A and B are shown apart, each in its own frame.
Chain A
């Protein structure tokens, strides 16, 4: 009997020690992450795939609830040497169908307007402007890395997420005075991002990423809502289809392909 009790005590002691060790280790590891490391994880997660091709529905929602819908197809390719490549095509409605936007770097962007049959180089002064009337700016659409432009600090940590505040680096050309990110510890996807007005410093836009799921091993928010808190207008981006690591050629991100129809 004594032997059994001793064995039980030893078992519970081991369990408590193991749990304590696990909890201590887990907590220590969590606290060990600096803000830069969290942002690194976010950047890495968002750029984990070598490339992707996705179809999305973009819904522009007015203050009164009325909606306008656009269908877009987006191509992404990671560029290990610099800025990533993105190509976005509008598939509907008719008046914007075929309009395509190619971003090869922050200062090399092209817009193809089928009505003129001409590719137009776009200077980076537009990058903080609304992207085709949506609540996303050209920069929001094309941005895949936070670390290049922002210095971050941890504001809060909960068991489920980190809350970070990111301020623009001295020479960074960003459209916001600061941003706040709520980063999931499970997926390292920001579930919420607050964007602050570049001059007034007040809250300007809120991005909410939801329906985060693993697709082909990559965490993907299937629904993104960007809301302008000043005018209560919002843009909902629903990813209807996405494929990762398809082996996209660099030729997809060329002026030759920009003019092609889908």
Chain B
């Protein structure tokens, strides 16, 4: 066995040991003996079963372990580091015997530092707090459907938990002036969206007229490459926010300069024509934009309400072009420049309106309307989404039942199009919370709609899910 083989075999284990050592040593070295390091986390076992007509395959969904260590060596300073471990039940393909020597073939595991930041309260000024490091910066008042929340990339790895984000490295400063807050954020580098492993249809990111070209010709994407902006100061991201209260209503105004985390197709190459299909490799880019945001939260006659709106100002127009000169004319034959425009350089508005109420019998209702989903980009491509949830708790919160549902349509231009783009989903769920620190969930996710629409690209993903989560 050569040295390289030994290193390759030991690498996963060595990385794991190193990671844990660093993770815990971060808190054991600088922290004084009398200071406590608070460790907490959760272990989530997640099983999902597809519900097609003929059989019931188990989805290769991840189980999740998250461990967070928090230390507060002084009143002014604290630190948090959390380790995220996702492990799968499916083995990875073994195309040769060497693959079977890799632990990750039979036990696929993904490690990441979920969050790792330092908090300094009263930094330089009594009313200035600073948070530096990998962190989640939650903005907005809506329930998950936060239009103003653009600093962290979207995490679509769990299609049942849309609206989730994952942390990114940032410098966050908050200055408090009585009941007002002035917040400044600098995010040195862009991170792209995390798409679901179950597959995400590129058609959903493309203008709908590319899904079906004139003459029943279909476009089928080949190899897809995502291009990042250069990692320089000029291409870093930043945001400012002023938060306060007027007439007992919380509000904030914000400004964001940076990139959308969802890439859009910008160039095609290696075009091959095999009618009725046209196939090509696609190069995706992250749209550069400024976003002005506004959010509100308050109550009216005991009913909770919230609103979030953003004015998005694309910095550049994105027109689908071809690198292969010979086929340019061919594509132009199918589509005009207008049809190939993926993102116009025109301002557009997205917003979310919502409210919630608890009835006297204890039933809780939460409804939201969203104009423009996170992945909808451009003035002509904003869909409409209505999402609601009704829940009730029994036996002193030991049992929680809920029914979530949503209706979605792509950008509306006519009645016919409304019908064509209408999709829906339904999620009935029951949770058992009768034992402290344990949460058991059983649910069903049903989705229906035409291919080429946002939810329609997931219509083969109807599933039963069973989850157990232990907190510690």
Contact = CB atoms under 8 A, between A and B. Distances in A.
Contact of B358 (A94, A129, A133, A255): A129
B471 A117 contact: no
A95 B436 contact: yes
Given A97-B40, A116-B138, A117-B136, A126 B78 contact: no
B380 interface: no
Size range of the interface on A? 20 to 34
Given A123-B357, A125-B302, 6 more contacts: A97-B40, A107-B248, A125-B357, A134-B396, A173-B302, A256-B176
B302 A261 contact: no
A201 interface: no
A261 B39 CA distance: 13
Contacts of A135: 396
B38 interface: yes
**Interface SS of chain A: helix, strand, loop or mixed?**
loop
Interface string A9-32: 000000000000000000000000
A123 B360 contact: no
Interface string B282-325: 00000000000000011100111110000000000000000000
Nearest to A60: B396
Nearest to A68: B436
Given A95-B471, A118-B138, A121-B141, A126 B396 contact: no
Contacts of B232: none
Given A256-B129, A261-B70, A107 B397 contact: no
Contacts of B356: 123, 125
A16 B33 CA distance: 70
Contacts of B179: 254
B138 A121 contact: no
A43 B335 CA distance: 76
B78 A261 contact: yes
A241 to B, nearest CB: 18
A104 B250 CA distance: 13
Nearest to B141: A121
Given A94-B471, A95-B437, A121 B298 contact: yes
Contacts of B176: 254, 256
B72 interface: yes
B57 interface: no
Contacts of A60: 396
B250 A121 contact: yes
Interface string B430-455: 00010011110000000000000000
B310 to A, nearest CB: 18
Contacts of A130: 393, 396-397
A37 interface: no
11 contacts: A95-B436, A121-B298, A123-B299, A123-B304, A124-B299, A125-B358, A128-B360, A198-B360, A256-B129, A256-B176, A261-B70
Contacts of B360: 128, 198-199
Contact of A125 (B40, B138, B303, B472): B303
